[in-house]
Amino acid sequence: PRSPSLLPQPATRWMCRLALAPSGMGLRLSQKFVFLLFLSGLVTLCFGALFFLPDTVRLKRIFLSKNENPAVTVGHDNELSKKVPGDPEHQRVALKGGEGANVKLKVSRKPSVTHGARTVERSVGSRAQEEWSPARAQEPAARDERVTSAAHNGERGSAYSYEAFKSCLLKPALGRNQGTPPDSETLQRREKVKEMMTFAWDNYKRYAWGNNELRPLTRNGHLGNMFGEWGASIVDSLDTLYIMGLMEEYEEAKEWVQNNLDLNSVSKHEASLFEVNIRYVGGLLSAYYLTGAEIFKQKVMELGEKLLPAFNTPTGIPRGVINLGSGTSWSWGWASAGSSILAEFGTLHLEFLHLSQLSGSPLFTEKVMNIRKLLNKIEKPHGLYPNFLSPVSGNWVQHHVSIGGLGDSFYEYLIKSYLMSDKTDQEAQKMYYSAMEAIETNLVQKSPGGLTYVAEWRGGILDHKMGHLACFSGGMIGIGADDGPAGQRQHYLDLAAEITHTCHESYSRSATKLGPEAFRFDAGAEATATRLSDRYYILRPEVIESYMYMWRLTHDPKYREWGWEAVEALEKHCRVDAGFSGIRDVYASTVSHDNMQQSFFLSETLKYLYLLFSDDDLLPLEDWVFNTEAHPLPVIHKRCLQEHSATQDHGQTNLE
């Protein structure tokens, strides 16, 4: 064995040393057997990791041909075909160790939180972390011809009649008298909210015009990296300004959109598909439906087309981040194994159906219905929807369930899809009430002090906390009370009231009378934040959102009183010299501001307060649903849909 002709090359010489005993004699047979057993185990472990750890796309490409899809594929006919079986439970166990890190970086429905000198944001996923994926092999994706032809070449979209749409509304959008309440106290409170909006807008215009948000302490603008660099506060405020009758400010915003919202200069912009959809698509759609201004329709159709390449994945589940210029998309760098997030891909349905309505192209509807088909096909643990789904395999990645961050607006869009369809979307209805049954069975809890809350679920283990984001669920459950199983209406109304009461308690138990980012129900604590990292408040709207819905459903005066308490707290603790700012600790008697006036404060918090102190005929719920950024979208009334189809058929006959 020591013969020079048998010595290995230098790169493998270390193995020779293992095979030679110090005495110069070779290993015994038993030692060789142990060594070979070790090597075979190592090889098996490596190859097993390649093929059974979830979403190991970058490694699998070494072994899979370019034409082989490693998972579920969805064709143009939306049929699912499994090519490689997946095991969600195996994936969950394999990734369990990484779950904690993801919780801290949870997705909120809103973007940024500032603590001290640093701003904590949902960072855009790094390309280095997603350097290859099956979807990218297809990019840059071609724009679907059905969209451009429908939008520009005379299909139904060009024939869309705004006047016909208005005639389909059951009531005037702004009510008989702009929703003016009859009693003087409520009117004064509404005028105060309007003044807050004017103050916030004027300071944004003065110090941050064209930026996404205002930094009121330093009196400058903030761009962020979530939704491009195009005046998020302006687009988010369009409908709020119009509803409040602030027409001069509305015209300023409209002019900016017309002259500065250039969607052809976005080649370098990387943005959240979710945030662009709920803020820009939702904001432009609602502005068009409320005003009829064609510029909003034009811009929203251009933007909608730019979002389509995000769906170019093996399953049709879109990735979370997209370059709006190139169409390249990828998953968030922090999302488990390249996952897409339930609350993100599940919060597209309302807007995309309206994009199809305006364009005349079914493509937008097909994209979101394909998501729904996949969700109906895959198994759900205990009937629950986990928050992480692989856009490659179509399998759940972690069994973490929450109606707060990461999951929240998925459930909201199920019931609102049903309501927006004029209660004809029976699939959405079934999915929503099945999800509610599973949530009640597994997540809804009662504290020793009698507070009802919705816990989070981690593979069967309950985490007894509730996020501020989850407080929208009081209103959601309330608006869904009428259409559930027979005899359940009062049960759902009671549950909605109990959850809203719990969220109000999270406000009333703080020094500032504003609620923390998350509050817990363990170790003797009830509806209070027990961790320093959960004590901040960033002008969030979810609790006030539930007050507004519960007022409209019950007209219990306590909801208006609770709303006024929030107004007083915002004025006292969040109003600064140049706008409104979030605060770092709701339990501190002396507040420290975070220097951020969130765009959703203008779009949601102030709008919901204004509606709370208005008559119910201002944006009546029979005609309007609110997207998750509080942008009102019209119900697609079935009688008018039939009339529109008949008109189209008649016109086509005449042409022939």
Catalytic choice (55, 236, 505, 542): 542
Q: Which of 192, 217, 213, 193 is nearest to 204 (CA)?
A: 213
Active site residue 542: yes
d(CA 454, CA 505): 14
Find out whether 392 and 55 touch, Cβ atoms under 8 Å.
yes
Binding-site residue ranges: 628
User: Which residues touch 633 (CB under 8 Å, ≥6 apart)?
Assistant: 282, 285, 286, 289, 350, 351, 354, 420, 624, 625, 626, 627
User: Which residues touch 616 (CB under 8 Å, ≥6 apart)?
Assistant: 179, 552
**Residue the block writes with tokens 């005929």:** 617
Q: Is 470 exposed, middle or buried (0-12, 13-18, 19+ CB in 10 A)?
A: buried
Tokens of 11: 């790169």
Catalytic choice (144, 239, 275, 526): 275
d(CA 574, CA 593): 7
Sheet holding 270-272, edge to edge: 270-272, 321-323, 329-330
Strand segments (E) across 160-314: 213-215, 220-222, 270-272
Q: Is 621 exposed, middle or buried (0-12, 13-18, 19+ CB in 10 A)?
A: middle
Q: What's the 3-state SS for 599-612? A: HHHHHHHHHHHHHH
Strand partners, 80: 74
Active site residue 202: no
SS3 461: strand
Catalytic choice (55, 239, 366, 408): 408
For 577-639, the DSSP string reads TTEE--BS-TT-SS--B---B-HHIIIIIHHHHHHHTS-TTSS-TTTEEE-TTS-EEE---HH
d(CA 217, CA 597): 10
Active site residue 517: yes
Strand segments (E) across 413-563: 444-446, 452-454, 456-458, 461-463, 465-467, 518-520
Strand partners, 400: 458
User: Which residues touch 436 (CB under 8 Å, ≥6 apart)?
Assistant: 411, 477, 480, 484, 492
Phi (first) and psi of residue 509, to 5 degrees? -90, 5
Find out whether 316 and 394 touch, Cβ atoms under 8 Å.
no
For the CA atoms of the chain, what is the radius of gyration?
27
d(CA 613, CA 313): 45
CA 345, 347, 349, 355 dihedral sign is negative
Binding-site residue ranges for Ca(2+): 628
Calculate the CA 356 to chain-centre distance: 20
Find out whether 505 and 562 touch, Cβ atoms under 8 Å.
no
Catalytic choice (144, 344, 517, 629): 517
Find out whether 109 and 517 touch, Cβ atoms under 8 Å.
no
Find out whether 635 and 420 touch, Cβ atoms under 8 Å.
yes
Catalytic residue ranges: 275, 408, 517, 542
